Amino acid sequence: MKDTLQPGLTHRFTFRIPETKTVPHLYRESDMFQAMPQVLATGYLVGLMEWAALETIRPHLDWPREQSLGTMVNFTHLAATPPGLTVTIDVRVDKVEGRKISFTLSAHDGIDKISEGTHERVLIDATKFNTKVADKLQRTR
């Protein structure tokens, strides 16, 4: 982590919502999801908020050796967003405590505020992390 990763950093992230990020695409195995409206799925919204937080800190990491993983999400999903609208996410780094980074985020689709909340990520050494995951997988065999 570089010295520049400090509380108060902000970033604005935008993403145009494609049809493939709607509820019916979340789990194709679920008949219930298939019958639901084609609007941004909450699962994809969470991933989008994580992506925005990651883009906020990536310039301040020794990427790709140093990465971060989400450890807590606390977001509302306030309004439906149909495909074709662009979501704008405003991110602020609130705390940097060792390897843990805390964020506040809010998202708007150009018409409505669609989400707000907090998020935490933890910095990892990608090689060490991947080795631990491989070891865990080996124990299942």
Catalytic machinery residues:
42, 50, 77
One-letter amino acid for residue 57 of the chain: I
Residue closest to 54 by CA, chosen among 125, 122, 138: 122
Q: Which residues pair with 47 in a beta bridge?
A: none
Report d(CA 83, CA 21) in Å as an integer. 8
Rg (CA), the chain: 17
